[in-house]
DNA sequence: CTGAAAGCGCTAACAA
DNA sequence: TTGTTAGCGCTTTCAG
């Protein structure tokens, strides 16, 4: 149950050369005669020789592989981000290893440690909602593992970060609802540990403040599993609609949360009057009924940017000590779901935010 | 820019033992004194020793990793299948390496060869729509690489296969449209090279035949990129609606194709009368307008089953020569989009197919 | 019970 | 220009 590939040794034996000569010839070293080189190259080609990357990694301590940790690939934002990651990695000839944490800190850690042990050259991570103890990551980073965070980042580790402008995205979404005449805007969001949660909440609050709408704590609801557990979202919505200050609009943070919430509302027939918008990168917001107003993140760009920064660290000769945080713009795509029913035909289109 | 972990050598040196003794102690060999064992284990624990998996792979020729190739993770079917794969792999302590072909034969090949070279213990593959020359896979398989195909399979390689019952799924979907009174049912499908294309087309034909509806070649359209290129789908739809035999219903094969097609139709305002259904594993078919009738594949199960079969091959002592093809049931979930507008309130619900 | 040495495939410093 | 040798981290004969 194994498959031997040709090795440098086979070539050496066949050609009556030493392995080092073959090795050098293969990599086109200048100190090998054209004659020998040609011979080796041809034979290698003939037997379809492929260097063994495992042996190479062992020797060189590098793998030309980048490890990625996201919570869930079945999430529009992440799958688009991953495509961005791959697009850069591919033409810089890095391989991409994708793993999912499923929002579990434990899984996240196992994945990271496995990839580290397997010798990935760097890590692209978007933290899980459970992630609180980051000491293992910190340690890894201190030992020299290049890491770039994207989307869900942390301040505990000094490195590059790439995020969407969650603050402004939330601000504009909320303001849009306000302009529509909504006053009691609920914000349903994810685990308070996540950076994105705070950023979006801040944007939401800022919009309220700007428009002199008092902030009401009871309109903020956390779904710690980010919509992975449907009951959690249902409970939150029930609470919201049972409370004295029933919301007249809902603004959700998070891709999965938005879709799940939208679905439940639809089933609850509660959506009739409530304005609705949320963060999601779904491609099919215009196919829904009502058509969905969304805050869209530049997921592909975020993936690309993060990868560029990571490769930059990986390939840097000297330790990188200057780190930056890149913030990319979101866009608010206005459709039916957020429009006051009176004027629902009006103001539909896409707006930069 | 590197991070040294403790090695067996460090332990040996610290404890004044030989590396072989340490190695044996670590793996609990019976021929090591309890004394020494304890000493080694404790020290290893203390310095948080982790064996280097790269060195292990080099030596043992196995990695406890499974490689996966799918066309696109941003596809409901595949992301669900991957979750199935991971669920099994995880508790059999295999790691899963996910790669995307983006429907390119070239990318597929690069991915497969890279994973093979990296020493994955086995491969789970769903072929890309471009895949025609499978000789490299065949060769790999003959050299002993365990491979299980799922979803998009091939007969060129003798191994386990796990698929949905595409034939019956298509049959029931088509028949459902016929029962609704549709007569000119177009079938929009993917590359003719794919196994699923043929299976679904056959099911479609069989349903027509059963109901004595003549088969009309011009109602069959192939989108060779499976919906990745939107224009391709638009062209096909335009052709369809310009031809003399305008379809009165559309049945699509393929997840992405279904969604893209549905979206275009909606924009074309053509959907008004046309019945519509297709293969897709979207979770949000009921949020669309009109609500979408879908053929749903047991993606998670398919992933699980394929993984179980693969691990079975990997861990089998003797070469496996008996192969099976597992076929899992699809389900037809009937909603608005496929119902004749006259009776659109009627017959809505889920049906096993 | 423990150690020395070889070897997995490859590169590179050092010799020739 | 080419060969010899050591070594990356680990396991495993083979000796002691």
Chain A residues with beta carbon closer than 8 angstroms to that of B53: 114, 117-118
Residue A146 lies in a domain: yes
Segment B75-93, tens digit of pLDDT = 999 999 999 999 999 989 8
Residues A112, A227 within the same domain: no
A133 and A78 within one domain: yes
CATH number at residue B208: 3.40.50.2300
Please indicate, yes or no, whether residues B339 and B193 belong to a single structural domain of this protein.
yes
Same domain, A190 and A284: yes
Provide the pLDDT confidence category of residue B352 given band limits of 50, 70 and 90: very low
Cα–Cα dist A157/B123, whole Å? 36
Domain assignment present for B58: no
What is the rounded distance in angstroms from the CA atom of residue A201 to the CA atom of residue A351?
21
pTM (two decimals): 0.89
Q: Which residues in chain A have their CB less than 8 angstroms from residue B97's CB? A: 97-98
Token pair 């699509």 in the structure block, residue: B252
- Residues of A within 8 A of B145 (CB-CB) are 3
| Residue in chain B lying closest to A80 (CA) | B74
Shared-domain flag, residues B213 and B292: yes
Altogether, the residues listed in chain B come to a count of 353
Domain shared by A275 and A318, yes or no = no
CB nearest to B144's CB, from A1, A117, A118: A1
Lookup: tokens for B70: 């799918």
Residue B307 CA and nucleotide D13 C1' are separated, in Å, by 36
Nearest to B36 by CA among B53, B24, B46: B24
State both tokens at A167.
């603050």
Task: Say whether both B38 and B135 belong to one domain.
Answer: no
CA of B141 to C1' of D2 (A): 38
The CA–C1' separation of B19 and C5, in angstroms, is 12
**Mind listing the pLDDT tens digit for each residue in A229-240?**
999 999 999 999
Q: Is residue A3 part of a domain?
A: no
pLDDT digits (tens, 9 = 90+) for A290-315: 999 999 999 999 999 999 999 999 99
Checking if the pLDDT of B185 tops 70, the result is: yes
* Cβ proximity of B123 and B342 under 8 Å: no
Number of domains in chain A: 3
Cβ contact B117–A58 (<8 Å): no
Sign of CA dihedral B193, B198, B201, B205: positive
Which nucleotides in chain C have some atom under 7 angstroms from a protein Cβ?
1-13
Q: Which residues touch strand D (CB under 7 A)?
A: A 16-21, 24-25, 30-33, 35-37, 55, 58-59; B 4, 7-9, 19-20, 23-24, 26-27, 50-52, 55-56, 58-60
Q: Is B38 inside a domain boundary?
A: yes
pLDDT band at A172 (very low <50, low <70, confident <90, very high): very high
Same-domain status, B311 and B170 = no
B57: in domain: no
Closest residue to D1 (CA to C1') is A32
CATH number for the domain that contains residue B37: 1.10.260.40
Q: Are residues A123 and A141 in the same domain?
A: yes
A226 close to A257: Cβ distance less than 8 angstroms: yes
What is the span of the domain harbouring residue B307? 63-164+299-328
Mutation target among B111, B114, B118 for the A interface, most CBs of A within 10 A: B118
Q: Are residues B147 and B174 in the same domain?
A: no
pLDDT at A118 over 90: no
Distance B71 CA to D11 C1' (A): 39
Residues B196 and B223 reside in one and the same domain: yes
Q: Three-state DSSP class for A209?
A: helix
pLDDT of B344 > 70? The answer is no
Q: Which residues of A touch B314 (CB under 8 A)?
A: 1
What average pLDDT does range B154-183 have in this prediction? 97
Residue A57 lies in a domain: no
Domain-embedded: residue B56: no
Output DSSP code: residue A285: G
Residue B131 counted as domain residue: yes
B37 and B93, same domain (yes or no): no
């Amino acid at each position: 149950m194994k498959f031997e590939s040709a090795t440098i040794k086979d070539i050496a034996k066949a050609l009556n050369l030493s392995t080092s000569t073959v090795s050098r010839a293969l990599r086109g070293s200048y100190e090998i005669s054209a004659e020998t080189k040609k011979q080796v190259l041809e034979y290698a080609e003939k037997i379809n020789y492929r260097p063994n990357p495992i042996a190479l990694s062992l020797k060189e301590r590098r793998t030309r592989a980048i490890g990625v940790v996201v919570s869930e690939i079945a999430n529009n934002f992440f799958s688009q981000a991953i495509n961005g990651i791959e697009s850069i990695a591919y033409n810089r000839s890095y391989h991409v290893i994708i793993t999912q944490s499923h929002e579990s800190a434990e899984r996240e850690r196992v994945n990271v440690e496995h990839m580290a042990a397997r010798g990935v050259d760097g890590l692209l991570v978007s933290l899980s909602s459970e992630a609180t103890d980051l000491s293992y990551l910190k340690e890894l980073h201190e030992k020299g593992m290049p890491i770039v965070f994207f989307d869900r980042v942390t301040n505990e580790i000094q490195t590059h970060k790439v995020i969407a402008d969650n603050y402004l995205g939330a601000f504009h979404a909320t303001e849009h609802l306000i302009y529509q005449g909504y006053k009691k805007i609920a914000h349903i969001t994810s685990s308070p540990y996540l950076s994105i949660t705070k950023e979006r909440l801040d944007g939401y609050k800022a919009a309220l403040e700007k428009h002199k709408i008092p902030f009401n704590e009871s309109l903020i609801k956390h779904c710690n599993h980010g919509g992975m557990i449907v009951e959690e979202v249902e409970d939150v919505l029930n609470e919201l609609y049972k409370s004295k200050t029933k919301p007249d609009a809902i603004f959700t943070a998070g891709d999965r949360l938005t879709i799940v919430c939208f679905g439940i509302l639809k089933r609850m027939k509660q959506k009739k009057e409530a304005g609705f918008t949320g963060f999601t990168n779904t491609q099919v917001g215009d196919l829904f009924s009502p058509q969905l107003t969304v805050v869209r993140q530049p997921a592909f760009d975020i993936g690309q940017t993060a990868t560029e920064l990571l490769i930059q660290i990986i390939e840097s000769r000297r330790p990188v000590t200057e780190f930056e945080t890149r913030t990319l713009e979101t866009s608010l795509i206005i459709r039916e779901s957020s429009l006051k029913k009176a004027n629902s035909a009006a103001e539909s289109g896409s707006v930069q935010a």
